[in-house]
Structure 1
Amino acid sequence: MADLDDKKPRDMRMKEKINQKLIETGEKERLKELLRTQLIECGWRDELKVHAKEIVKERGIENVTVDNLIAEVTPKARASVPDAVKKDLLQRIRTFLSQQPGL
């Protein structure tokens, strides 16, 4: 059981280290911009806009808050990211990490 307890903090430290390296090198911002572009190009963004508009139309603008809208749209947004976009992003992160000494 001790192995599992030790694994969580080690995993968290590794995630923090990776995130810090992504930030320091500017790679995180480059990847975010690439992701944004890919999601726009594949129509994902437009699809979510339509979904959000439908929610507002169904409930009425006075009955929808930004927080409610985000809470409802987020699960669909995450689930509808195309697999090709996810795979590409993951591959780019792996490539970046493989080029970083000490990780």
Structure 2
Amino acid sequence: MKASINQTLIESGEKERLKEMLRNKLIECGWRDQLKAYCKEVVRRKGLKHVTVDDLVTEITPKGRELVPDDVKKELLHRIRAFLAQQKELTSDKIPY
């Protein structure tokens, strides 16, 4: 089911619109700046010569998810649900009775 939803989002172009909305919301709320500062902190702590990109991604991913504001998560979920409801309506209109 997850794959089907993802395919529908991609085919309709909705996935790109959602990604753009999310990117803008995260910039507006300062998430990007917070994560950038956290990255710098990790590099300082580990030392530039001792940190790899993989290490950095592994360390900052949980922090990045934690820093996403609840209202941004809720809005994204709401938009996905609304899109799926709209798709369901469009599909049910095509079924002959």
Which TM-score applies when normalising by structure 2?
0.89
Partner of residue 7, structure 1: none
Partner of 1:41: 28
Q: After TM superposition, which residue ranges in structure 1, 4 or more long, deviate above 2 angstroms?
A: none
CA–CA separation in structure 1 for the residues paired with 2:20 and 2:46: 33
Q: C-alpha displacement at 1:85, in angstroms?
A: 0.1
- Provide the rounded CA distance (Å) in 1 between the counterparts of 2:35 and 2:87: 36
- Provide the residue aligned with 1:76 in structure 2: 63
For normalisation by structure 1, the TM-score amounts to: 0.84
Q: Distance in 1 between matches of 2:61 and 2:80?
A: 23
Gaps of 5+ in 2: 93-97
1 CA distance for matches of 2:48 and 2:29?
28
Deviation for aligned residue 1:17: 1.0
Aligned to 2:5: 18
C-alpha distance in 2 between matches for 1:95 and 1:47: 30
Q: 2:54 aligns with which of 42, 50, 67?
A: 67
5+ residue gaps, structure 1, are 1-13
Counterpart-to-counterpart distance in 2, 1:95 and 1:27? 11
SS at match of 1:100: helix
Distance 1:80 1:48 in 2: 8
Identity %: 63
Secondary structure in 1 aligned to 2:87? coil
CA distance in 2, matches of 1:91, 1:59: 39
Q: How many residues align?
A: 90
The alignment yields a C-alpha RMSD, in angstroms, of 1.2
